[in-house]
């Protein structure tokens, strides 16, 4: 059984889709939801699935990554799924989970990614660019925002009269269907070959 943590900063609708999909999964178990905002709604969603959540401050993520790692190791976490986690992952954690952190982003990376590109800013930028297509990207996490190896992308059209919120709704629905399935494949492939390196 691979024990997985979800990292989340806000609403957590993707976190919920993941918890739903992996509920009673035979090989993958979501055992923890980590939030870096005390008011993150994801905590309530987790409690509905009987999954514990843990608040760790932004300051701790930036300056005491060894404490974040300790909390994860204590719970034997082997894989991390970012789901709307609005903070860069410290290189210390990336080294501790080689190839073991996945993120989802609501655009076709490398377009419309990077610092400040989150939430509605992404979809506003897509509209301003005049692109007729957008989508989602699921990628491995490295120490730059929205930058690691791309694992999967799905596309949808941008219609002429779309608002940013129309695009957000369309992309989010796709995220909910694709992220769990792609995460499952990546975690199962990862299970057999990468031991957790801790320092």
Residue in 105, 121, 147, 190 annotated catalytic = 105
Applying CB under 6 A, does 106 fall inside the site for ligand GRF?
yes
Q: % helix / strand / coil in the chain, to the nearest 5?
A: 40, 20, 40
Applying CB under 6 A, does 83 fall inside the site for ligand GRF?
yes
Could you give the CA distance from residue 97 to residue 91 in angstroms, rounded to a whole number?
A: 10
Applying CB under 6 A, does 10 fall inside the site for ligand GRF?
yes
Applying CB under 6 A, does 13 fall inside the site for ligand GRF?
yes
Element (H, E) at 116: none
Could you give the CA distance from residue 87 to residue 23 in angstroms, rounded to a whole number?
A: 27
* Choices 31-39, 43-51, 103-111, 189-197 (CB under 6 A): range interacting with ligand GRF: 103-111
Applying CB under 6 A, does 113 fall inside the site for ligand GRF?
no
Q: How many CB atoms lie within 10 A of CB 14?
A: 24
Instruction: Indicate which single residue of 84, 100, 135, 148 sits in contact with ligand GRF (rule: CB under 6 A).
Output: 84
Could you give the CA distance from residue 137 to residue 178 in angstroms, rounded to a whole number?
A: 10
Window 162-191: residues binding ligand GRF (CB under 6 A):
172, 175
Q: Which residues contact 141 (CB under 8 A, 6 or more apart)?
A: 80, 82, 89, 94, 101, 102, 103, 148
Residue closer to ligand GRF, measured from CB, 68 or 109: 109
Applying CB under 6 A, does 87 fall inside the site for ligand GRF?
no
Residue closer to ligand GRF, measured from CB, 143 or 191: 143
Q: What token pair was written down for 165?
A: 């919120």
Least separation, in Å, of the C-beta of 112 and ligand GRF? 11
Could you give the CA distance from residue 130 to residue 175 in angstroms, rounded to a whole number?
A: 22
Is 123 part of the annotated catalytic residue set? no
Which chain residues interact with ligand GRF by CB under 6 A?
10-15, 83-84, 104-106, 172, 175
> Which amino acids are annotated catalytic?
105
């Amino acid at each position: 059984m691979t024990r997985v943590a979800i990292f989340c900063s806000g609403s957590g609708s993707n976190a919920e889709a993941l918890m739903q999909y992996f509920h009673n999964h035979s090989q993958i178990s979501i055992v923890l939801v980590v939030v870096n905002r005390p008011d993150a709604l994801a905590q309530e969603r987790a409690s509905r699935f009987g999954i514990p959540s843990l608040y760790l401050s932004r300051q701790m993520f930036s300056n005491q990554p060894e404490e974040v790692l300790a909390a994860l190791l204590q719970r034997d976490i082997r894989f991390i799924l970012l789901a709307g986690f609005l903070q860069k992952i410290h290189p210390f954690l990336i080294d501790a989970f080689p190839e073991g952190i996945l993120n989802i982003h609501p655009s076709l990376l490398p377009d419309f990614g990077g610092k400040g590109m989150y939430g509605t800013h992404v979809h506003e930028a897509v509209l301003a660019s005049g692109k007729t297509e957008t989508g989602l990207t699921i990628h491995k996490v490295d120490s730059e925002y929205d930058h690691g190896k791309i694992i999967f992308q799905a596309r949808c059209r941008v219609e002429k009269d779309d608002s940013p919120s129309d695009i957000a709704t369309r992309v989010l629905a796709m995220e909910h269907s694709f992220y769990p399935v792609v995460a499952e494949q990546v975690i199962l492939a990862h299970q057999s070959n990468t031991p957790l390196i801790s320092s």
